[in-house]
Structure 1
């Protein structure tokens, strides 16, 4: 695991967590804007970093490494963390485990899916070969390419922005890392009615995902600060970076009138 740090170290620290099969570089398009307000630390998961030879094993093992980094370099406390999709599960787990502290945890339209071991095995076994082919060849399945070609420009922009987050062409990413990440996310449980003193949980809820996801947020978190956006999953992050930066700034340090 690597931690990519940048910005002014005197500013509040925000950790950034990529989504499933996504690289640390998926945050490149927002870093300059974030640096106005934050010192940024982008987490690069085991098995998904081009600069090391590692393998993703489990959510728990990754959490332990993240916690140790925060303890060793930030006194066990950070200002905020943003979790993109799968990254929202990491933010939730780090809050739940109470080994480090964050003032603000931001869940980025995460689906918060969970499954038993049998169903998780089935789902991971289906997804892994598809994702592995995509990341190694850098190309999409023909059916997906055909559907994208038929979309209007706004939908194409969203899909292309979403695909930019993935490690397409990542020859170092193994089937085992993909399987373990997908499986571990499903079987690692987030506690219900989570409420940690002095930690505020914010949710960037993409309403086009469906009402069932809003219900999940209220199930997992006792008093979530839900911000509703008429968008698809992570659309604001992918396609509207200035708006996303503004929203992150507002929930963490307030509207500073800029």
Structure 2
């Protein structure tokens, strides 16, 4: 059963935050939560396969979306003022939007993956899953992993600190497989939420995802942060991240 963390005054506007792959909810969002909880009621899912307090495995984007939807429906009447997802969390949020079960007014997608690799997806999934698993063993990064992660100048120390070391190989495999094969749902074009997409200027994969999403959502607002790589805004500059987030959702 997916666990959820909640912070702040429940009478405040509600915001959902979905963390990314191979990290934990607090590593990803602790600083953000501290900045937001005075003005918002913050709801944070602990994704399956990423919870240090239980043994579980991440299976699919659709399953994660369904569990989050069920929780918000049962506990919060299916209504949110805002939602934001980072990396794989953003992809899960795209699926939640497409399902049109929850009512969400404003959405921020931070480097959400929605650029399927086609015939290369299985090869890339196998290779990168093996390489990511080696992070647990503190082995050197393969040059291809450096390229794919696109973390600016590739701050290895920061990445290792953010990495959830207890993640299973099957969870890593399932995450990559789901991300590299994920296609934007056709009915996404009918959603009513205001959506903004963020990415760092050093991220080529996220830039492609933004272009794909723009085709489905012509009114999508796209913001590129100069010289940033994958996750740098949220992990290294949380005050700037929150200021940008508040500017959109307030």
User: Residues 1-258 of structure 1: matches in 2 within 5 Å?
Assistant: 1-25=2-26, 26-116=28-118, 118-135=119-136, 137=137, 139-141=138-140, 155=153, 159-167=156-164, 169-170=165-166, 173-191=167-185, 194-210=188-204, 212-230=208-226, 231-253=228-250
Q: Distance in 1 between matches of 2:192 and 2:62?
A: 23
Greater than 4 Å deviation, 4+ residue runs:
none
TM-score normalised over the length of structure 2: 0.85
Q: CA RMSD in A?
A: 2.3
Q: Is the 8 A contact 1:77 1:101 kept in 2?
A: yes
Q: Residues 102-149 of structure 1, C-alpha deviation per residue, up to 9 Å, x if partnerless?
A: 111111023423133x532221111112222313x3x242667xx9xx
- Partners of 1:105 and 1:235 lie apart in 2 by 19
Q: Once the 2 structures are TM-superposed, how far is the Cα of residue 48 of structure 1 from its aligned partner?
A: 1.3
1:27-62 CA distance string (max 9 Å, x none): 112211111221111221111111112111111111
Q: Whose radius of gyration is greater, 1 or 2?
A: 1
Number of aligned pairs? Answer: 238
TM-score in terms of structure 1 length = 0.83
Asked if 2 retains the 8 angstrom alpha-carbon contact of 1:5 and 1:40, the reply is yes
Would you say the 8 A contact 1:193–1:219 is kept in 2? no
- Residues 37 and 249 of structure 1 are in contact (CA less than 8 Å); yes or no, is this contact kept in structure 2? no
Q: Mean alpha-carbon deviation: is it higher for 201-210 or for 37-46?
A: 201-210
